[in-house]
Structure 1
Amino acid sequence: MEERRHMNLIRPTTEQKRMAENRRLEPVMRALKAVHSATSPESMDPEDLDRQRAGQELLGRLVAPRLGVAWEPFDLQGMPAAWTRPGRCWEKRKVILYCHGGGYTSGNLGYSRPLASKLAEVTGYEVLCFEYRLAPEHPFPAAPDDAMKAWDYLMYLGYGARDVVVAGDSAGGNLALVLCHRLKAAGRRLPARLVLMSPWTDMTASGQSYGQRRDIDPMITMNYIQAVRQVYAREADLTSPLLSPLFGDLSRFPPALIQVGTNEILYSDSVRLRDRLVRAGVPCRLEVWKDMWHVFQMFPMKTADQAMESVGRFLLEEL
């Protein structure tokens, strides 16, 4: 009895486990913070952009990809791209086109690798990543043009639209939705499903969470949002569905899974997207993850693994 009582005394408490988890994640949190909030977030000077882009490279190294998942970079008609191939349960008939985040001003293949490898692992699908051109060097519509190039490449390989899942996080979620708007406007078939992680759907920042949750968001500031949209959209109308896909006609869009954390200023972007998809008759599942931050799925922690497992179930059950 005394030995059992002693063991209970030395067993870590829930608070101790939480503190240990926070210490373990601290370097990764710093790296992601550097990505989304430059030292002078209102500045898009080359030095600040270099800092953001270097932060994403660092993040890609800190968050190691899954063991057994192959990473195969290649040149896609002058655009850097990479295949992420699962190590087991390889489903060759389906593919995921993954659009990385970074506010349209940063992002690269290295940053794509952690989430792409997780997607490949939980689904058994190959994942195509592409490094679209970035603002301010290449403002809108360079990124959507590059997304169309990646889509057309999959069609050239023999995939049909029904074989493709388009996934994206943050600005990549914006890009995934914009791609659907462009395909629909061209009279082409849309992808089979959408997987959207903390999607940026409203560049006008009109949702309530932009004010209500700004003090609890550990990653993104309004100054950052204003800075990146200025250099990306420039003088374009921010209400355009090709910038704010929330405001477009969402009818006949693919069934979607949306994941968002409670501690995000972009929270409203996900909730309002769900509401508009449902009104348009599109099947949509919104998952709200308590106490989570922007694109938490990238992190090496249990909650992120649970969210990715939910993505796998969504795709495998629905497809």
Structure 2
Amino acid sequence: MYKNSLISSTHSENTEKVNAKMTEAVMAALKAIHSAASPDSMEPEDLKRQRLGQEVLGRLVSPPIGFSWEPFTLDGMPMAWVRPERGHDRRRAILYCHGGGYTSGNLGYARVLAAKMAGATGCAVLVFQYRLAPEHPYPAALEDARAAWDYLMRQGWGARDILLAGDSAGGNLALELAMTLRDEDRFLPGRLILYSPWTDMTASGDSYESCRDLDPMLCADYIHAVRSAYAPNTDWSRPEFSPLFGDLRGLPPTLIQVGEREILLSDSLRLQEGLAQAGVPCVLECWKDLWHVFQMFPLKSASEAMEHVEHFLHQMG
């Protein structure tokens, strides 16, 4: 009995050491990628480097095997279905809004989280490459998200059988889409899944200061730059930019996952408070020692987070 306990303890310690080394390696890679670009500049050459860095990040954390990739276009907008090769749940689907500050991100970047969600939930995932700022500022991305939603409706999906997911700026977009559908008296998705959502473009949360030196991915200068590119010369506290300050009543049950070490931590904490006050069921998971959209990376915690998504989804019955 004692021997088995000792082996188990040793295995646990070794696993923790491996996870710690993996975390350190990923954080070093993240810092290297982001140091190659000027995060606070939207000049064409700097923006090109930022978008390239996003693509490199997608390749660095290449998606798992065991899924099909079926690209197509909708009125010129690149889209793709990601399906588990083992077969999938044909009753439900996931519409996924990728991140990138509204200024970068593409299908290659989106494929990583889409494949993980497909593998964890057994659902087909629809991804779309919305138009990017500054070339296409607000409301271009929201218009494209609505087009993707309408496509699903035309394909015969029931709104409540759709899980609407998004990371970072994609979390902002998912919230804005859900709020738009609600305001138009349309049926809403059955669940919202938000990974490190950007909910406050005014950057007024405490974590912008408290996590400033802890976040390996984001900085305040980057947030200021991309919000100006997306919605120049405007009041960023307006709900169409900062859903945190909007009417949250009537939104679907929501799962929020956020890292403890990111400057957007307050965006999630305050969103959970707002949803609770609005009477919306919400589960907030704050993951210790992790960073912005950590679910993308080859970490044990990322796998566990996807398992939580699967459990939350299948509460739909």
TM-score by length of 2: 0.92
Distance (whole Å) between structure 2 residues aligned to residue 77 and residue 302 of structure 1: 39
Q: Is the 8 A contact 2:260 2:289 kept in 1?
A: yes
Whether the 8 Å contact between 2:194 and 2:256 is mirrored in structure 1 is: yes
Whole-angstrom distance in 2 between the partners of 1:192 and 1:133? 26
Give the AA of the match of 2:48: D
Which residue number in structure 2 is paired with residue 21 of structure 1? 22
**What are the superposed Cα offsets for residues 27-77 of structure 1, whole Å, 9 maximum, x if unpaired?**
75246x52xx76332210111111111112112222122211111111112
Aligned-partner Cα distance in 2 for 1:147–1:236: 22
Structure 1: runs of 5 or more not aligned: 1-6
Task: Describe the SS at the equivalent of 2:315.
Answer: helix
Q: 2:164 aligned with 1:166, yes or no?
A: yes
Q: CA deviation at 1:26?
A: 5.4
Deviations 1:203-257 (A, max 9, x none): 0011111111111111100000000001111122211111101111111100000
SS in 2 for 1:75: strand
Q: Which structure 2 residues correspond to residues 1-319 of structure 1 after superposition, within 5 A?
A: 16-18=17-19, 20-22=21-23, 24-25=25-26, 28-30=29-31, 33-34=33-34, 39-319=37-317
Q: Quick check: 2:19–2:299 contact (8 Å CA) kept in 1?
A: no
Q: What amino acid is aligned across from residue 123 of structure 1 in structure 2?
A: T
The superposition leaves residues 294-316 of structure 1 with CA deviations (integer Å, 9 ceiling, x where unpaired) of 00000011011011111111111
How far off is 1:20 after superposition? 3.4
Report Cα offsets for 1:171-195 as digits up to 9, x if no partner.
Answer: 0000000001111121111111000
CA distance in 1, matches of 2:244, 2:139: 17
- Residues 102-155 of structure 1, C-alpha deviation per residue, up to 9 Å, x if partnerless? 000000000000100000011111000000000000001100000000000000
2:23 and 2:299 in contact (8 A); partners too: no
Distance 1:163 1:20, change over 3 A: same
Distance 1:171 1:118, change over 3 A: same
Aligned amino acid, residue 263 of structure 2: I
Say if 2:166 and 2:172, in contact at 8 Å, map to a contact too: yes
C-alpha change, 1:223 and 1:154, in structure 2 (3 Å) is: same
- Inter-partner Cα distance in structure 2 for 1:27 and 1:222: 20
Distance 2:99 2:270 in 1: 20
**8 Å contact from structure 1 (residues 181, 241) kept in 2:** no
Structure 2 Cα separation of the partners of residues 136 and 63 of structure 1: 27
Please tell me whether the aligned partners of residues 39 and 50 of structure 2 are also in contact (alpha carbons under 8 angstroms).
Answer: no
Distance 1:13 1:125 in 2: 34
Structure 2: distance between partners of 1:125 and 1:290:
28
Letter aligned with residue 314 of structure 1: F
1:307 maps to amino acid: A
**Structure 1 runs of 4+ with >6 Å offset:** none
Check the 8 A contact 2:95/2:126 in 1, yes or no. yes
Residue 318 of structure 1 aligns to a residue whose secondary structure is coil
Answer yes or no: is the 8 Å Cα contact 1:56–1:110 preserved in 2. no
Structure 1 position 285, deviation (Å): 0.1
Structure 2 unmatched runs, 5+? 1-6
Opposite residue 20 of structure 1, the aligned amino acid is K
| Distance apart, 1:318 and its partner CA | 3.4
* C-alpha RMSD of matched pairs (Å): 2.0
Matched residue SS, 2:66: coil
Tell me if the contact between 1:202 and 1:269 (Cα under 8 Å) persists in the aligned partners: yes
* 1:28–1:63 Cα contact (<8 Å) kept: no
Counterpart in 2 of 1:3?
none
In 1, distance between residues paired with 2:88 and 2:150?
23
Note closer, same or farther for the CA distance 1:265–1:83 as it changes in structure 2 (3 Å cut). same
Secondary structure, counterpart of 1:83 in structure 2: strand
Q: Tell me how far apart the structure 2 counterparts of residues 244 and 261 of structure 1 sit (CA, whole Å).
A: 20
Which one is further off, 21-30 or 232-241?
A: 21-30
1:4 matched residue in structure 2: none
